[in-house]
Amino acid sequence: MEFNNKKLEKTSKLINYVIAIVLCAFLISLSGKLIDDVDEWKERPTVEEFYNNKIISKKKSDIEKIDAEINLKNEKKSSIKNTIKVVNNNYENAKKSFDNWIEARKTVGSPKEDKEVISRANELDEYFKTQQEWKKELTKITDEIQLLNKDKSSIYKRIDTEKERAYKEREKAIRKYDLKVFLIRLLFILPILLLGIFFIIKFRKHKYWPLFLGFVLFSFYAFFFGLVPYLPSYGGYIRSAVGIIISVLFGIYAINKIRAFIEQKKKELKVSTTERAKKVRTETAEKALDNHMCPSCGKDFIIKKWDKSVGKKNKTETYGIVTNFCRFCGLELFKKCNNCDSENYAHLPFCANCGDHMTDDK
């Protein structure tokens, strides 16, 4: 006996999808842990692995020596600055004292003939010379520090050049590493994907299809999320090429399937209506009746009629008429019950009025 209970059908479909999704989730969890463990078999290359440590160590040692020398010269520079400050103060005090003394001597005699004036002026000159010598020393130290900083900058540039070379080497190693990871993932995921496609082709009508569907969903998830993101880039060429190939293959498959379906329908419509009626399944008949379509060609069997009411300008009323035969393929759609003479949908197994068989074979 065949059950046509729609609630039961919807519930069974829901249960089937739940089974498929739950199985798919556990398969994804298991495969995720497995593939993550596989990815960790070898660590991702780091830039430090490609450094020329001898060169970098030597350059860093040179920088440390230069920094130590700069620190010493900065200390000396600071000491010279303090000395210049003292010398400036001494010079300013001596000059002020000399100026005051000269002003006082102007009132009592001629400063040009006074030996003490000459002595004080010479003393003031000595202060000035000392001041200039310390300023020259400060300038010399400053220049030496600038040269040391230039040397340090050139060493840093040499280190940067070495690091840039190491980064380029690392990029090459990462491409090789990503290719290896992709091939390892491909080794696991490609058989899963092929098996999922095989299940779609061979087991769509199997009674355990929900279990197969769970595996199919998992296989597509593994492909699109576990493999495609790890496709080597190489400027995007490989990913674009793979996308084009997949699109072309899927397009060819879809076009061939659609054409095959159309050809099959054309062949079916060439068969007599009696033979086509025998091949209509109950589920197909129920859906066709709900959607008022012919179960053979899929066209609407309701004909629209228009009635322009008299005296009402440009007003049109429409209503539908159900035909007993499909006007497109000629298949019988409605017929009378042999027992109670009530009209029923011809492709359902029992009469809706008396429950008698609608088909001739009882």
Q: pLDDT for 256-295, tens place per residue?
A: 888 887 777 777 666 665 665 555 666 677 777 777 778 7
- Residues of the domain holding 252: 236-270
User: Which pLDDT value is given to residue 295?
Assistant: 79
Among 232, 262, 287, the domain boundary falls at: 232
In a domain, 355, yes or no: no
What is the domain count for the chain? 3
Over 80: is that where the pLDDT of 102 sits? no
Residues 13 and 144 in one domain: yes
Q: 246 and 336, same structural domain?
A: no
Instruction: Give the pLDDT of residue 212.
Output: 87
Instruction: Look up residue 252 and give its two tokens.
Output: 């060819």
Residue pLDDT, tens place only, 44-69? 777 777 778 788 888 888 888 888 88
More confident residue, 323 or 105: 323
**Is the pLDDT reported for residue 243 higher than 50?**
yes
More confident position, 106 or 315? 106
Tell me which of 180, 207, 232 is where a domain ends.
Answer: 232
Q: Is the pLDDT of residue 115 over 80?
A: no
In 3D space, the residue among 143, 251, 188, 261 whose CA is nearest the CA of residue 41 turns out to be 188
Q: Are residues 219 and 260 in the same domain?
A: no
Is there a single domain that holds both residue 173 and residue 186? yes
d(CA 340, CA 174): 81
Residues 265 and 281 in one domain: no
The reply to whether 226 and 248 lie within a common domain is: no
Q: How far is CA 122 from the centre of its chain?
A: 83
pLDDT of residue 314: 55
Strand ranges (E), 9-77: none
On whether both 25 and 77 belong to a single domain, the answer is: yes
CA atoms within 13 A on the CB side of 260: 6
Percent residues over pLDDT 70 in the chain: 76
Torsional sign, CA 75, 81, 86, 90: positive
